[in-house]
Structure 1
Amino acid sequence: MSPLSILLIGLAMSTDAFAAAIGKGAAMRRPRLPDALRAGLIFGAIEAFTPLLGWLLGRAAARYVEAFDHWIAFALLGALGVHMIVAGLRPEPQDAAEPAPEDDRKHHRFWTLAATGLATSIDAAAVGVSLAFLDVHIGVVALVIGLCTLLMVTLGIMLGRALGALVGKRAEIIGGVILILVGSGILYEHLQGVA
């Protein structure tokens, strides 16, 4: 897998966390950089761990599906991409458009951030499963996903007030398109190698 593909996967995996961070930043009165970095570290660590877990599960099944592993990677990445696009196209509930003023500390409690980070990283576990069937160093991919998420969440919280209405769920749509393109690229590379 090329370095560009790994970077694109890292960016795609961080888009849903970015969208969640924008929402958190928009709900806060004045996000501070240390709070945004703390959230980025929590999200990034979780987002880096979940593909490792998925990869381990996928490796356990790899010998049974070696002949069609590229199709599994293509199907999983494509399905995740479509799911992210659909989620990004769904209208937000009316009451979510205008967040109620809340205490900023509530948005930065460790368990609240960890639960949100886990919810946005489920797709990274599925990507880890699909990568188990490919010749890729999972440690590098997990590190790139974690670093991209750290950066995107930190930026998302800091820019949340300004970007909340502008970007919102569009980030998920972009991430979904990237995953579909990466999955198609994997399938294309394998089929070209076979031909």
Structure 2
Amino acid sequence: MHLFDIIVMAIGLAMDASAVSMAAAASGYAKNRRAVFRLAFHFGLFQFMMPVIGWLLGTGFVSYVRAVDHWIAFALLAFVGGRMVREGIAGPGDGLHRDPSKGLTMVMLSFATSIDALAIGLGLAVMDINIWYPSALIGIITCAMSVAAIGIGKRVGAAFGSRMEIVGGIILIGLGLKILIPSLFWGA
């Protein structure tokens, strides 16, 4: 997997965390540096850990699925991307009622926004790609995008949160097609 592909995948995965970060800032919860650090650090950490967990789970049965690995990677990316698009179109729910940068709420949000990365880790295992470099890049990009989203959320508000999720979903579906199409036509 090329660096460009990893960066595009990382940006797509970071959209959920960015949308949550932006909403938190727009709601007035990311007022100080500690809250900004907690949000960005936890989102980045979970986005780093979840692909590793998915990869570890996936490496045990790679030899059984090598013939259909491109279909598995496409299905996982399309599923995750489709879910992100659907949630983005549905728009925000009731809003945030608790400070999302503290306690169990922070852990639950970090886990929820990184479930997609677990599926990506599984897909990377199926494609026999070493997980450490992509996973580190996913975590770093998520952290950076969360900080940027908080800055935007403070200035602009939550108006673009669901749109970011749609863009992230489209990016993941496109990456899935980029994996599938060469395998179908050129056997790559």
TM-score scaled by length of structure 2: 0.91
Kindly indicate whether residue 105 of structure 2 is the aligned counterpart of residue 69 of structure 1.
Answer: no
Which residue of the other structure, out of 154, 170, 191, is the alignment partner of 2:184? Answer: 191
The one-letter code of the counterpart of 2:150 is: I
Distance 1:163 1:61, change over 3 A: farther
Structure 2, unaligned runs of 5 or more: none
Per-residue CA shift, 1:142-195, capped at 9, x if unaligned? 011101110111222232233333311111100000001111111123334427
Structure 1, unaligned runs of 5 or more: none
Question: 2:135 — aligned with what?
Answer: 142
Cα deviation, residue 92, structure 1: 3.1
The one-letter code of the counterpart of 1:177 is: I
Question: 2:123 — aligned with what?
Answer: 130
Cα deviation, residue 57, structure 1: 1.2
Per-residue CA shift, 1:28-47, capped at 9, x if unaligned? 26622343123211110111
Following TM superposition, the consecutive aligned residue runs of length 4 or more in structure 1 with deviations greater than 4 angstroms are: none
Distance 1:158 1:32, change over 3 A: farther
Greater CA drift, 151-160 or 30-39: 30-39
The alignment-based identity, stated in percent, is: 35
The one-letter code of the counterpart of 1:37 is: F
Kindly indicate whether residue 25 of structure 2 is the aligned counterpart of residue 25 of structure 1.
Answer: yes
Question: 2:59 — aligned with what?
Answer: 59
The one-letter code of the counterpart of 1:25 is: A
Aligned equivalents of 1:133, 1:29: Cα separation in 2: 40
Question: 2:172 — aligned with what?
Answer: 179
Aligned equivalents of 1:116, 1:146: Cα separation in 2: 15
Aligned equivalents of 1:60, 1:122: Cα separation in 2: 20
Question: 1:10 — aligned with what?
Answer: 10
Question: 1:152 — aligned with what?
Answer: 145
Question: 2:42 — aligned with what?
Answer: 42
8 Å contact from structure 1 (residues 10, 144) kept in 2: yes
The one-letter code of the counterpart of 2:47 is: E
The one-letter code of the counterpart of 1:82 is: G
Higher helix share: 2
TM-score scaled by length of structure 1: 0.88
The one-letter code of the counterpart of 1:185 is: K
Question: 2:104 — aligned with what?
Answer: 111
Aligned equivalents of 1:30, 1:129: Cα separation in 2: 33
CA RMSD of aligned residues (A): 2.0
Give the paired residue count: 188
Distance 1:150 1:30, change over 3 A: closer
Distance 1:54 1:189, change over 3 A: same
